[in-house]
């Protein structure tokens, strides 16, 4: 995304960070989280990279050793909340696109939960796959076609963001895709473990 659009997204999340955890502590969202981690948690293992880690949702629901975790997020406000809850866990304040240029590590698990990868340039999708160690798994939640979190964005933000997400590329590049609530999940978790519906 353009520099000015990225700055706007950061400003929105710096502000939303103040109430993010309270907002998502409502019963309906906790139930959504529980459903999500029923699918994802069995595959969260080894070195975990949490892209767009926000306030640390993955750490709240999973036991991940601090040596095994790295969270990436451009929003100082979101990372401040994560650090308050999980002070010993490593994070980098950067966009995925900035951080990946200097990274030379591989990861067993790459997460991008609840819309975070929707902010990445579509040209960087392949770089997510290149980060995986052999037998590694990825679990990426894009906003599903037509959805964007309207409670925090203006209609102009939403139009720009929708134009950025390349759904054809997501479906071609990633192994399995399925809709989970308001998200299009892209993952290489084998399809028999996914709520993918009946296949012919």
Ligand X SMILES: C[S@@+](CC[C@H](N)C(=O)[O-])C[C@H]1O[C@@H](n2cnc3c(N)ncnc32)[C@H](O)[C@@H]1O
Binding positions for ligand X, rule: CB under 6 A: 9, 13, 51-54, 57, 72-75, 78, 95-97, 113-116, 119-120
Nearer to ligand X, 62 or 191 (CB): 62
According to DSSP, the β-strands at 132-143 and 183-187 are antiparallel
> What tokens does 113 get?
């939960």
Q: How far is the CB of 195 from ligand X (least distance, A)?
A: 19
Of 60 and 66, the one with the shorter C-beta distance to ligand X is: 60
Quick check: 195 and 183 in contact, CB under 8 A?
Answer: no
For ligand X, the nearest residue by Cβ is 54
Q: How far apart (Å, rounded) are the C-alpha atoms in residues 89 and 75?
A: 16
* Shortest Cβ 97–ligand X spacing (Å): 6
**Residue with Cβ nearer ligand X (98 or 190):** 98
Minimum distance between the CB of residue 6 and ligand X, rounded to whole angstroms?
6
Q: In what order do the strands lie in the sheet with 132-143?
A: 90-93, 69-73, 48-51, 107-112, 132-143, 183-187, 176-180
Q: Which of 61, 91, 90, 65 is nearest to 76 (CA)?
A: 91
CB of 49 to ligand X, least distance (A): 11
Smaller CB separation from ligand X, 61 or 167: 61
């Amino acid at each position: 995304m353009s520099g000015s659009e990225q700055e706007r997204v950061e400003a929105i999340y710096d502000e939303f960070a103040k109430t993010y955890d309270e907002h998502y502590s409502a019963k309906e969202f906790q139930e959504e989280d529980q459903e999500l981690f029923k699918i994802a948690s069995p595959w969260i293992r080894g070195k975990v990279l949490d892209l767009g880690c926000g306030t640390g949702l993955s750490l709240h629901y999973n036991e991940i050793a601090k040596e095994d975790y790295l969270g990436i997020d451009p929003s100082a406000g979101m990372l401040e909340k994560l650090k308050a809850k999980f002070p010993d866990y490593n994070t980098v304040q950067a966009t995925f696109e900035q951080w990946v240029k200097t990274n030379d590590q591989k990861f067993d698990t790459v997460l991008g939960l609840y819309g975070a990868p929707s902010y990445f340039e579509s040209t960087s999708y392949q770089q997510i796959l290149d980060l995986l160690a052999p037998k590694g798994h990825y679990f990426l939640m894009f906003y599903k076609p037509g959805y964007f979190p309207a409670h925090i964005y203006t209609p102009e933000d939403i139009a720009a963001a929708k134009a950025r997400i390349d759904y054809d590329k997501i479906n071609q590049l990633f192994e399995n895709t399925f809709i989970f609530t308001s998200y299009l999940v892209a993952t290489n978790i084998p399809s028999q473990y996914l709520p993918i519906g009946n296949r012919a």
